[in-house]
Structure formats: C-alpha cells, structure tokens
Structure 1
Amino acid sequence: MPDTIDIQLKKGVLGLCVLALLARRDSYAYEIASRLSDAIGMGEGTIYPLMRRMQTDGLVETYLVESSSGPSRKYYRLTAGGRRALDGQTTEWRAFARAVEALIAGEAEDVVTAGAPAETPALADHSAEADTTDHADRGEDQ
C-alpha cells in the first residue's frame, strides 16, 4: 500500500483487518503483524495494544501452543462476538468504500442524493437569497 496513505486511515481499519485474518485461521500476534505489514504496511508496534484491547472487548480469546523451538506461543482466535463484529464492520466498510470510490470517480451526486429527501422549498429560497447577496456584495448586477 502506498506510503502516502495517512497512518490514521490505516489505524481506522486495522481492527477489521485483524478480525478478517483471524476469521481465516487462528494466529499469534507476530504472524498477524507480519501479514498486516505485508498487506497494508502497518508495523508490529500497533498490533500488540490492539490485540489486548480486542481481548478485553471480548472479540478474541487466547490459548497457548507449545513450541519445539522456544517458549509457548499465544494464539488468538475469534469469539462469537468477534464474528458478529466482523460481519457488521465488513458491511459498514463495503458501504463506506463504495461511497468513497463514487466520490473519487466523480459520482458524488449519486452518493449524496441516494435516499436523501428532495430539497425543501425553504432551502431552495435560501440558496436563491445567497446568490443575490453574493452578487450584491461584489457590486455586480444579477
């Protein structure tokens, strides 16, 4: 992913990414961090606090697996609450991504007006007044 993407944007979707990875298979934090680093360029320093928070929130749970090459590894897996959170966040993300893509593609009118109530006469009247005021302020004829 390009380095120009703001770090806050990446952090905003990090939880969703972790939930998606864990939905595929249980994993330990370093492996999750490596996969996220490869996919979206996030460093491992952001993963450990997130994993603790997700555990506190009941989205993931842990278990230990003995390792022949060192200490036991703490694996993370989704809880039922984590699966529900993944489903909800995935739906929200897809709608958000479609809206952003439409804005970027210049289809903003379609996104903004879809499902929006028709313009009220009061708003239309104020728009006309603003146009008149703008012209008058600049000393222009209408």
Structure 2
Amino acid sequence: MRTDAVRGHLDGLLLSVLEDGPLHGYAIITAVQERSEGALELRKGTVYPALNRLERIGLLRSTWQTAGERRRRCYELTDAGRRGLATERTAWREFTTAIGAVLNPAPEPGNAT
C-alpha cells in the first residue's frame, strides 16, 4: 500500500493501537503492521515524531521502562487521547462513507444494471 495513503490517518492509527494499553514505539509499529495484515508498514522516522507530537498536545503520555539492559519509552492514551480516538473514528466513518458513495454509487431506482 502506498505510504501516502496513511497520510491524514496516522494519528488515528497510533491512538487506536494504544487503546488496549501502553506500548513502546517498536511495538506500536508492529501492532499497526499486524492489524493491517502487513498492508501498512510505518517507518520509525514517521512514527516517533508523531508520538512526540501527540504527547505534546496531550493525547498521549509516556514513561520510561527498563527491559533487561534496554530503556524504552512507553506511550499510553490520556483521557483526551480516548476522546481524540473517538473523533478520529467518527471522521473515518464519514470519510469512507463519502468515498464509498462516489466509488460505488447506488443504482438509481428504475436503472437496474
């Protein structure tokens, strides 16, 4: 799938995979890839700046955790992030409905195809 197909929807994707609980950056990337059955491959250079931005605007919070010798930053939704995810989902449904109406128009009554 084209990388630019994700443009405009990245925030919703990131918020969605964090809905069930905190994850570190690589686990977030992996979750998106797994949920999309490999269709979406996000780059670290795209994801980490987005996570930082979402944290800066209060939709995420992060903590440092240690796993063995490695320190990882884990991200989780805030209450504002949960509301933001609900807004993203509503916007996505509206978007897909509008695009679907154009790409797959319902046949007009009396014009059976």
Write out the 4+ residue segments of structure 1 that deviate beyond 3 Å after TM superposition.
none
Counterpart secondary structure, 1:66? strand
Report the Cα offset of residue 30 of structure 1. 1.1
Report the Cα offset of residue 104 of structure 1. 0.8
Q: Over aligned residue pairs, what C-alpha RMSD do you find?
A: 1.9
TM-score normalised by structure 2 residue count = 0.81
Q: Could you tell me which residue of structure 2 aligns to residue 132 of structure 1?
A: none
Q: Could you say which structure has the higher helix fraction?
A: 1
| Structure 2 residue 45 is matched with structure 1 residue 45 | yes
TM-score normalised by structure 1 residue count = 0.66
Q: How does 1:53-72 map to 2 (within 5 A)?
A: 53-68=53-68, 70-72=69-71
Q: Could you tell me which residue of structure 2 aligns to residue 23 of structure 1?
A: 19
Q: Any unmatched runs of 5+ in structure 1?
A: 110-142
Q: Could you tell me which residue of structure 2 aligns to residue 12 of structure 1?
A: 8
Identity of aligned residues (%): 27
Q: Following the alignment from structure 2 to structure 1, what is the Cα–Cα distance between the partners of residues 85 and 25?
A: 18
Q: Could you tell me which residue of structure 2 aligns to residue 82 of structure 1?
A: 81
Q: Any unmatched runs of 5+ in structure 2?
A: 109-113
Query: Residue 51 and residue 59 in structure 1: after superposition, are their counterparts in 2 closer, same or farther (change >3 A)?
Result: same
CA deviations on 1:69-112 (whole Å, 9 max, x unpaired) are x22211100011101111111111111111111211024x9xxx
| Residue identity matched to 1:87 | A
Count of residues in correspondence between the two structures: 104
Q: Following the alignment from structure 1 to structure 2, what is the Cα–Cα distance between the partners of residues 56 and 73?
A: 18
Counterpart secondary structure, 2:72? strand
| Residue identity matched to 1:10 | V
| Structure with greater Cα Rg | 1
Counterpart secondary structure, 2:8? helix
| Higher RCO (CA-CA < 8 Å; seq separation 6+) | 2
Q: Following the alignment from structure 2 to structure 1, what is the Cα–Cα distance between the partners of residues 66 and 41?
A: 29
| Residue identity matched to 2:19 | A
Equivalent residues of 1:18, 1:32 under 8 A apart: yes
